Structures are given as C-alpha cells and as structure tokens.
Structure 1
Amino acid sequence: MVEKIYNELRTIVDPEVGFDIVSLGLIYDVYFSEQKAVITMTLSTRSCPLHELILGWVKDAVMRVDGVKECVIDLVWEPEWNILMASDEVKKALGA
C-alpha cells in the first residue's frame, strides 16, 4: 500500500522546478494503517507560494489510492530541505 501511495505522490510535479515531489525529496515518510495514510513531508521553503495548493494535491493524490479512507499530512520543517535530499537525476538537472 505504501508503494501505491508513493506512486501517486510521484504524479505531483512542483511547477517551479518541474520535478515530482518524491524525486525532490520533499516526502520524508509514508505510513499506512487501518485505511489511514500519514504523509510526513516538507516544502522547499517556508515561504513557498504554492504551499496550500501542494498540500491539496498531496491529499487528493493519496485519497485516489484504493483502500485509503483518510489522509493526514504532517508538514515539518526539520530537517530543513536542501537539494542534497533530491534524487541524483534531480541534482544533476539542477546543477547540484
């Protein structure tokens, strides 16, 4: 079930950089139990102008997974996101 949730989260592309939020390293953890998904994540900055929009996309994506009846997003700021958390593909594309 967790992998299905990650697959849905990979469909969410951060429009500012053009990569999905999983490859960017913004998803820290996915937990699933008894029809409830808990997504621990961050954003690239606290002042992200798409903050509410991205959180809505995350909830919508998770709720599309069969068997998920509830989605809780735990938005955290520690550890603070940095480009080193991204996949190698993203780091290379962004020159990191």
Structure 2
Amino acid sequence: MKLTKEEVIKVLRNVVDPEVGINIVDMGFIYGVEIKGKKVHIKMTLTTPGCPMHSMFVHEVKQSLESAFDDVEVQVEVVFDPPWTPEKMSNEAKKKLGFK
C-alpha cells in the first residue's frame, strides 16, 4: 500500500469508537493528516477532553498505521481546539446515531 493521505484515511476507517460503533473518520475526529517521507502526523480530537478512550484511540491509530505501512513513524496529536461537535460527523454517522 502506498503512503498517501487517501490510504491513511482508509486505514483510519478501521479504527472504531466502541461506544457508538462508528469509525473515527466518520465521527469527525480526524482534523488533519500530514505526510513527510515516512513520517505521518495525525491531528485528531475526541468528543471531550476527559474522554476515557483517549489512550486507546492514540494506540489504535498508531498500531493501525504501523501495521498497514512499512517503516512508518506515526505521531498522533490530540487537540481540542476547535472542539468536536456532532456537525463534524459524516451524514452516514449522523443518520446511524439518529441526527437529522
């Protein structure tokens, strides 16, 4: 698999928020993907700063990308500005969770 933003996003769709059963891309948690050589920087958020799943998400993102791409160095930056809101979810995620 080639290391591109599109492929990184595809891999991140396999990381699922266990509380709602929706992947972190469709939840709107991914704010940015930056690739420089073999280094990948993921900027992401969570629903709240005190989210108990914080370390699980960071671990899953790193592990998923390191498994999918050879010799990649992954940095995950969790930010809360701008704060996550339901408007950041994909239409599919909103529909699944009952948002209109």
Give the TM bin, normalised by the shorter chain: over 0.9
Map 1:10-89 → 2, pairs under 5 A: 10-89=13-92
Cα pair distance change 1:2/1:68, threshold 3 Å: farther
The letter of the residue matching 2:8 is I
**Runs of 4+ displaced beyond 4 Å:** none
Equivalent-residue separation in structure 2 for 1:69 and 1:94 (angstroms):
34
The letter of the residue matching 2:62 is K
The answer to whether the aligner puts 1:93 opposite 2:96 as a matched pair is yes
Taking structure 2 as the reference length, the TM-score comes to 0.90
Equivalent-residue separation in structure 2 for 1:36 and 1:51 (angstroms):
22
Equivalent-residue separation in structure 2 for 1:3 and 1:32 (angstroms):
11
With 67-76 and 48-57 compared, the bigger mean Cα shift is at 67-76
Q: Which runs of 5+ in 1 are unaligned?
A: none
CA positional deviation for 1:86: 0.2
Cα root mean square deviation, aligned:
1.1
Taking structure 1 as the reference length, the TM-score comes to 0.93
* Aligned residues with identical type, % of pairs: 38
CA positional deviation for 1:95: 2.1
Q: Which runs of 5+ in 2 are unaligned?
A: none
